[in-house]
């Protein structure tokens, strides 16, 4: 089973993922995007470059996703592990969809079409929901993807994705204190696995 954690920057998604890594061991593979490979390094360099072309950046993210599937996700699923990924294809649709909205028509669909031949859809997605202003404040606006106005567009894209596939998403109120959020994420994961 492939379970993904999604949310805008500052939602506490990575902290929740770290918490799960500490509490779940046997039979789990924990992974993330961007990866720790050279593909992921290229993505991080692009994120830190304010003038990076958004379409070129999309293709860097897509290459990283393809390598992630081939090298980590598919082998772990074949072993029978539960794969828990901090960010996955929905991040691409939401973030890069916002980044290229002035470049291509129907950006989310464009990116989904690009991924469709090779990606594997998550079985379930835990979405940590927080408003863009809170997310930007928590994240510290350290790069171009953490600006509150940009995060507002990203959040809108996430809502579009949730509306398209509501059964896959479990929404968690990420405005609560960390312990409450972690407990809600644990409960959500247990419910997903029980189903």
Where is the binding site for ATP, in residues? 7-14
pLDDT one-digit tens code per residue, 107-120 = 999 999 999 999 99
* Burial of 16: CB neighbours in 10 Å, binned 0-12, 13-18, 19+: buried
Q: What ranges do the domains of the chain cover?
A: 2-194
pTM: 0.93
pLDDT one-digit tens code per residue, 123-155 = 999 999 998 877 777 777 666 666 778 889 999
pLDDT one-digit tens code per residue, 40-76 = 999 999 999 989 999 999 999 999 999 999 999 999 9
Task: Return all residues near 31 (Cβ < 8 A) that are at least 6 apart.
Answer: 68, 72, 73, 76, 83, 84, 85, 86
CATH code of the domain occupying 2-194:
3.40.50.300
Residue 10: left if φ>0, alpha if ψ -120 to 50, beta else—which one?
left
Helix-strand-coil split of the chain, %, nearest 5: 55, 15, 30
Give CA separation, 59 vs 34, 42, 68, 75, 154, in Å.
13, 11, 14, 23, 18
Where is the binding site, in residues? 7-14
Contact 139, 10 (CB under 8 A): yes
Mean pLDDT over each residue of the chain, to the nearest integer: 94
């Amino acid at each position: 089973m492939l379970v993904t954690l999604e949310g805008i920057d500052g939602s506490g998604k990575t902290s929740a993922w770290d918490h799960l890594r500490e509490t779940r061991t046997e039979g789990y593979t924990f992974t993330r995007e961007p990866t720790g490979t050279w593909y992921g390094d290229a993505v991080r360099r692009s994120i830190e470059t304010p003038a990076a072309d958004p379409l070129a950046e999309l293709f860097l993210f897509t290459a990283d996703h393809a390598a992630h599937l081939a090298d980590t996700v598919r082998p772990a699923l074949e072993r029978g592990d539960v794969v828990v990924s901090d960010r996955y294809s929905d991040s691409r649709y939401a973030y890069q969809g916002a980044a290229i909205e002035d470049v291509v028509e129907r950006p989310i669909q464009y990116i989904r079409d690009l991924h469709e031949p090779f990606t594997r859809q998550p079985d379930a997605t835990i979405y940590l929901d927080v408003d863009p202003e809170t997310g930007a404040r928590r994240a510290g606006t350290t790069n171009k993807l953490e600006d509150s106005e940009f995060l507002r567009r990203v959040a809108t894209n996430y809502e579009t994705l949730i509306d398209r596939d509501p059964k896959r998403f479990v929404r968690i109120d990420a405005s609560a204190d960390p312990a409450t959020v972690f407990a809600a994420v644990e409960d959500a994961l247990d419910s997903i696995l029980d189903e």
